[in-house]
Amino acid sequence: MSGSVDTDALSSEAVDAVDATGQLADILDLPEHLRDALWRVDSANLQGWDSPGGLVVAGMGGSAIGGELARACLGDQLSRPILSARGYGLPSWVTPEVTVLCASYSGNTEETLAAYEAAGFLGARRVVITTGGDLADAARNDDVPVIPVPGGFQPRAAVGYMTVAALEVAAACGAAPRVASQVDVAAAHLDELCAQWGPDAAADSPAKSLALALAGSVPVIAGTGLTTPIAYRWKTQINEMAKQLAFSSELPELDHNELAGWQGAAGQGRFSAVFLDDADNHPRIGDRIELTSELIAAGAHTVQRIPTLGQGTVERVMSLVLLGDLVALYLAVLAGTDPGPVEAIETLKTRLASR
């Protein structure tokens, strides 16, 4: 991801010109968010308990992704399932042997409030992570532990808090070992990556180069194994910050269907493929990325293969979360779009509230 690029297109001045709400600062604060999240979970005074049925993380949007990223971080350390519930209810199999972490940054997400009520009805143990709102009020009335999150962000910027909370609750309910030391290591690694990938870095640094390569196209982000939820995170960050369509998929499944669709991509628009790779993938996944890249290259605007960085799983997951967040912000800058507001989403919420 190097080459001749416009040295001014993604400078600090260029970012400041469009980033009216300081989204860049929130992204670059991810290492500190991880550290602060550990303290905030401790402040909730969670006591260990046993949930043989595992953990369900109930939430929407940026509040939900933490559960999926936590599952990727824990990988084969999981002894019980961690699943996500995005909607107004919970899976029919949820029982008192399941812990439900209800995650809503605002505390007023109607789907998560409904899931909170459903968990109570089913007798499941509940934990809440939020800044406040109706969810915090209900939890405190019910003596349900509340993990506090600082306010003032777009929900998507709280990804570090949501991920650490899911990791810690998974440990508390017996679904996995505690990985707080890995979180600390990941935060230190991210400090270095922020300097290497931020707006003060070279014009051909990885985040800037990738954004420039993807500009003007519809990105299709493919993950596999550990990187599958990260691919979805990239898609949603590009949606919200750059205000453009992006899609995510998963290997090896995409080789059984989506691959055929790429044969007509050139006649339908400008599509780019990004493969998020990891050193611990099954060896055949590497072969699939290589061969799939060759087969779709003629119809793609660009094809990129991006590896995770670091040793432990938390470090590797969060390295690509940071990279994707910066790429999305840089795409917004290249388009002259303020990465902060999400007017269409707010309009939908307002209209729903009036019905």
Which residues are known catalytic residues? 240, 256, 349
Nearest to 166 by CA among 54, 49, 260: 54
Helix residue ranges, H only, 81-239: 110-122, 133-141, 159-172, 180-197, 206-214, 228-237
Please classify residue 355 by burial: count the beta carbons closer than 10 Å to its beta carbon, then call 0-12 exposed, 13-18 middle and 19+ buried. Answer: exposed
Cα 232 to Cα 68, 80, 85, 191, 275, distances in angstroms:
10, 23, 15, 24, 12
Q: Over 89-130, what HEC string results?
A: CCCCCCCCCCEEEEEECCCCCHHHHHHHHHHHHHCCEEEEEE
The number of beta carbons lying within 10 Å of the beta carbon of residue 20 is 11
Exposure class string for 136-174: b at 16+ Cβ within 10 A, else e: bebbeeeebbbbbbeeebbbbbbbbbbbbbbbbbbbbbb
Please classify residue 270 by burial: count the beta carbons closer than 10 Å to its beta carbon, then call 0-12 exposed, 13-18 middle and 19+ buried. Answer: middle
Identify the residue whose tokens are 């650490």.
164
Identify the residue whose tokens are 């998560």.
112
Exposure class string for 175-187: b at 16+ Cβ within 10 A, else e: bbeebbebbebbb
Give the Cα separation of 241 and 244 in Å (integer): 8
Structure tokens, 143? 């003596």
Q: What are phi and psi of 179, to 5 degrees?
A: -125, 30
Distance of CA 14 to the CA centre of its chain: 25
Give the Cα separation of 140 and 55 in Å (integer): 21
